Amino acid sequence: MGLIGYDVNKYTPRQMVMIPMVILILSLAILGYNMATTGMPVRPGIDFSGGTAVTLFTTDTPGQLEQKFQGYPLLSVGEGVNNGKYLKFGPMDDASLQALALLIGAEYPDAKIDQIGASFGKTLQEQALIALIISFIGMAIVVFLAFRTLVPAVAVIFCAFTDIAMTAAGMSLVGIDLSLPTVAALLMLIGYSVDSDILLTMRVLKRQGKLEEKLSGAFQTGIIMTTTTLAAVAAMWVVAFAGQITVIWEIATVLLIGLVLDMMNTWLTNAGIIKWYVLKRGGK
Amino acid sequence: MSDSKLVACLKHWQVALMVLLLVASAIAIGPRFEDGKFTTNLQYGLDLQEGTWLQMEFKAEVVGFETDRAVEDFVADLQKQLDAEIYLIDENKLEIRGYYPEETLRTIFSAAGGRLTTYEQGVSRETADDVKRILENKLNALGTKDARVNPLTGLSGVSHYIRVELAGVSLSQAKEIVGTQGKFEIRIHTTGNQTEHVLYGDTITTVGVPSHEPPGSPVWGVSFTLSEEGARKFQQGAIATGAVSNPDAHYLDMVLDGNVVYSAPLSADLAAKLAIEPIRQLYASTGTGAAGLEAAKNHEIHLRAGALPVDVTVAGSGYVPAALSDYFRMMCVVAFIAAAIAVGVVIFYRYREPSIVLPMIGSNLTEIVILLGIATLIQQLDLAAIAALIAVMGTGIDQLVIITDEILHEGKVPSPTLYKKRLARALGIILVSAFTVIFAMIPLALMDLSSLRGFALITIIGVVIGVAITRPAYGEIIKEILSK
């Protein structure tokens, strides 16, 4: 199968983990910078910061829309194909909100409106953070119970963390906000990420045979796993992009970034660590 | 596949169970044409169906306390300081039905000789269920065709929010229906325009639907029942204001949010009865004909609105128009089909063997159908749930690849014993990754992150179906196919 011309046995563990570590450090730097300047590692969307999001289909230009919503705290106007427009408003009081809803209802009867109060957004943000942390801990416990050896388990958990951190940095570069759907996507990544890591670790530790064969066997299976998922997500991405379904498009984008990074983290970082571990133990 | 192999496959209970569930799910989903339109029993959430969601925050707190004093005395002292109802909901927990910041309460608690130990905005589960019931009654009475009311209860058992989803209702209508909750009060005129408070709506225990009273007469009205305490207050109020002795000079006002929504004298009959004993069963007449019926319907809502025990404010809201939801629904189907085809192409590229690829795709899609079948019973589908479906498809196909590669190791058809060993090993890998996904999703399923709960539930159920049913079944099918 010549889908990807990478030989998992060609490089030493040190060489393997080199590139991912550089990217990880860069990612953490991006997240750290965001944290220092805005207080959040990734820019929060209205789900978390509070505000109003409006999706509508109109031939009006962004300029015209800005004019129309002059009296309201309009933050941005996004444009998509099919005349789709995505408007974001900052937090406002109840009366303005009611007036805005009426205005939109009258001018664009087919608009979708979502409004989140600032304190509600804050609650959601706290809850989402707790959910992410608990999910991660839950995953870590299962991995530990499954392997019961320190280095392989830590390698899997570390890779999942790296996936999330790099993907979050990627989101920030591409300009995708942290929202309920993208948090869901990050959680999905935890699942996808450990899938191939567990396969790799199980194959290498629990099978008989030469290390090289086990590694390349695991690589063959693992890469097809990630490729199929990637194919499904890419299809979803195309449809969501063409059809202007923001929620699914955002989820798909985050997954695409995450899955590509996961290939690297699994077959460079995790494979590197497990190879080092087996070689150190004197296994073959 | 030949017929004999098909039979051999079905003889494995895992396969038989999968087929059985597939058929049951197909029936549960019930795809059919109705009025020339394709319909199913799937329930759609907002985004995929026109409607409005409102998330409302309870203006109340649940607090823990400590005191060396007798609890009754302590609570009585607090009650003097706070203009809100206070209920002891646990040995050392109070529900305060009014909004106070933590610092304010801390000061008041210390002054009363106690200490505030915990503070959480929201209401107890019981109160939240009361509110849910009241809202549901109100919405049903209005004939809202599809309304869902869910208190979002955190792990601590305190409900901070209550979420209302109304299909086919616009945002402003929805806010009118549920957002403008107010306090209901009955007052009686004393002299001139002066009125005196008699009771609040929380003493109204039940409210009837518009009816004729006496039966058969042309007069419309609504009956309602007071609690014993309410009936006593009503009697005392009516006597004290003089309404019992001279009803026509002392009209009874029903006030909702400071607006008089009903004003009428006590009937002579009721006044006479009240002079003797408290009356629990009351009736407010609203006139005759269509206007009377309309007024009765409105009055019913007013009476019910008064029964909401806690103030709420709208914390978040959203509206999806029909045109957009239909479009979303169609695009979801397209996205799903596109994803399935993409998966099929990659799998075919890898294995090049229809007898492996077809069962693989087949069992993957079966899993989705079973998942949808279960979803008709418990979960409405929204965009997040669709994302979960696609995620389940993704992990599903991943795990089928693991099984296939494990069994076909080195391209040889294994002997039965070897096959068993390898299948067990593959299922071992799958089990670990399934557990990680389940554990990763459990917090989302338990927490009140509204729309993500559906996402987590669908993912967890999907993974469980996969591990328990479709993966083992696929293992048996692939064995039968390979044992040429």
Residue B90 and residue B25 share a domain: no
Only one residue has tokens 């096959």, namely: B419
Backbone φ and ψ of A158, nearest 5° = -60, -40
Residue B346 and residue B475 share a domain: yes
Residue B372 and residue B271 share a domain: no
**Which tens digits make up the pLDDT trace of B143-154?**
666 778 888 877
- Separation CA A188–CA A206 (nearest Å): 27
**For domain A51-116, which architecture applies?**
2-Layer Sandwich (3.30)
CB B438 within 8 A of CB B464: yes
Helix (H) or strand (E) holding A215: helix A211-243
Q: Give the range with max mean pLDDT: A54-68, B84-98, B102-116.
A: B102-116
Residue B428 and residue B444 share a domain: yes
3-class secondary-structure state, position B481:
helix
Question: What DSSP line would sit under B197-243, residue for residue?
Answer: EEEEGGGEEEE--SEESSTTSSEEEEEEEE-HHHHHHHHHHHHHHTT
Give the pTM: 0.76
Only one residue has tokens 């990763």, namely: B440
Q: How far is A70 from chain B (nearest CA, A)?
A: 22
Residue type, B367: E
3-class secondary-structure state, position A64:
helix
List beta partners, residue B319: A113, B52
Tokens, residue B312: 């709420």
* CB pair distance less than 8 Å for A240 and B409: no
Residues of chain B with C-beta less than 8 angstroms from the C-beta of A227: 346
**Which tens digits make up the pLDDT trace of A177-223?**
888 888 888 888 888 888 889 999 988 988 888 888 889 889 988 88
- Separation CA B94–CA A116 (nearest Å): 29
> Residues A65-87, buried b or exposed e (16+ Cβ, 10 A)?
beebbeebebeebeebeeebbbb
**Which tens digits make up the pLDDT trace of B135-175?**
776 676 566 667 788 888 777 788 888 888 888 877 777 77
- Separation CA B172–CA B389 (nearest Å): 33
Residue B451 and residue B476 share a domain: yes
- Separation CA B242–CA B271 (nearest Å): 10
Residue B379 and residue B474 share a domain: yes
The last residue of one of the domains, among B250, B280, B307, is B307
* CB pair distance less than 8 Å for B342 and A234: yes
A–B CB contacts, 8 A cutoff, strictly below: 229
Closest C-alpha among A195, A170, A194 to residue A250: A170
**Which tens digits make up the pLDDT trace of A90-125?**
888 777 887 888 888 788 877 888 888 888 888 888
Residue B412 has pLDDT above 70, yes or no: no
Q: How far is A42 from chain B (nearest CA, A)?
A: 19
- Number of structural domains (chain B) is 3
| B interface test, pick of A228, A233, A245 with most B CB neighbours within 10 Å | A228
* CB pair distance less than 8 Å for B443 and A181: no
Tokens, residue A92: 């406002």
Residue B126 and residue B201 share a domain: no
pLDDT-based confidence at residue A126 (cuts at 50, 70, 90)? confident
Tokens, residue A236: 């979803």
* CB pair distance less than 8 Å for B409 and A217: yes
Pairing label, strands B252-256, B211-212 = unpaired
CB B17 within 8 A of CB B474: no
Residue B462 and residue B343 share a domain: yes
Residue B89 has pLDDT above 80, yes or no: yes
**Predicted-assembly ipTM surpassing the 0.95 threshold:** no
Give the nearest partner residue to B432 out of A105, A196, A198, using CB atoms: A198
B50: nearest CA partner in chain A? A112
Q: What's residue A196's pLDDT?
A: 87
Residue B344 and residue B477 share a domain: yes
A46: nearest CA partner in chain B? B316
- Separation CA B275–CA A252 (nearest Å): 72
Helix (H) or strand (E) holding B64: strand B61-67
**Which tens digits make up the pLDDT trace of B281-321?**
888 888 888 888 878 877 776 776 645 667 788 888 888 88
The last residue of one of the domains, among B274, B307, B340, is B307
* Mean pLDDT for all residues in chain A: 86
Could you tell me the residue range of the domain that residue B194 belongs to?
184-307
For B249, which DSSP code?
Answer: G
**Number of Cβ within a 10 Å radius of residue B331:** 20
Name the CATH topology of A13-37+119-280.
Multidrug efflux transporter AcrB transmembrane fold (1.20.1640)
Q: What's residue B448's pLDDT?
A: 66
Q: What's residue B411's pLDDT?
A: 59
- Separation CA B63–CA B105 (nearest Å): 9
* Mean pLDDT for all residues in chain B: 83
Residues of chain A with C-beta less than 8 angstroms from the C-beta of B388: 184
**CB-side neighbour CA atoms (13 Å) of B276:** 4
Give the domain CATH number at B359: 1.20.1640.10
Tokens, residue A248: 């699914």
Q: Which sequence spans correspond to the domains of chain A?
A: 13-37+119-280, 51-116
Reported in sequence order, the residue ranges of A40-185 that DSSP labels E, i.e. its strands, are: 51-57, 74-79, 84-89, 112-116
| A interface test, pick of B121, B313, B398, B430 with most A CB neighbours within 10 Å | B398
Q: How far is B436 from chain A (nearest CA, A)?
A: 5
Tokens, residue B454: 């559906």
